[in-house]
Amino acid sequence: MAELDNIPQTQSIDIARVKVEESLLTNITELNNQLGAIINEFGQIYIRKKEISEELIRLDEILERAEDEFKLTNNKLKEALDDLDDKYPQGRLNLQDGTIQYQPGAPTRKQLAEAQAQQQSPNGAPSPFKVVKE
């Protein structure tokens, strides 16, 4: 350990100071300012992206409610038209003047659909026989 005591040790550190060229200082300042502006843009983009994402979530919720309302209203309309068809078979409703033309005694659309379903075989394929009225 005595050998360590014989090693010369420097107790002072030399620090030099020089003036940086004005063009280099200007360039570094401009680059630093540009970097700050870019970082600011990143923040603005992040915030805007988050706002858009939240708006998309709200729009999806609105769209889902509108789809549910559309299905409900469409079903109500179908039920009303089915009721009308039961009363006035094969009818054509004129919404302008509130009149309906129909064929008294004709089968309803529901009856036609049931008859068509009965003509098919149990496996869902059409029956080889065709019903013809002459």
Encode the chain (134 residues) as per-residue pLDDT tens digits.
Answer: 567 667 766 678 888 999 999 999 999 999 999 999 999 999 999 999 999 999 999 999 999 999 999 999 999 999 999 999 999 998 899 999 999 998 888 888 888 888 888 887 555 555 554 555 65
Q: How many domains does the structure of the chain reveal?
A: 1
Q: Would 48 be classed as within a structural domain?
A: yes
Q: Would 108 be classed as within a structural domain?
A: no
Q: Would 68 be classed as within a structural domain?
A: yes
Domain region containing 37: 21-87
Residue 85 buriedness (CB in 10 A; 0-12 / 13-18 / 19+): buried
Q: Would 15 be classed as within a structural domain?
A: no
Q: Would 9 be classed as within a structural domain?
A: no
Ranges of H-type helices in the chain: 2-5, 22-87, 109-119
Q: Would 61 be classed as within a structural domain?
A: yes
Beta bridge partners of 126: 120
Q: What is the pTM of this model?
A: 0.54
pLDDT value at residue 35: 98
The answer to whether 85 and 108 have CB atoms below 8 angstroms apart is: yes
Q: Would 52 be classed as within a structural domain?
A: yes
Backbone angles phi, psi at 52, to 5 degrees: -65, -40
The answer to whether 92 and 100 have CB atoms below 8 angstroms apart is: yes
| DSSP 8-state class, residue 21 | P
Q: Would 107 be classed as within a structural domain?
A: no
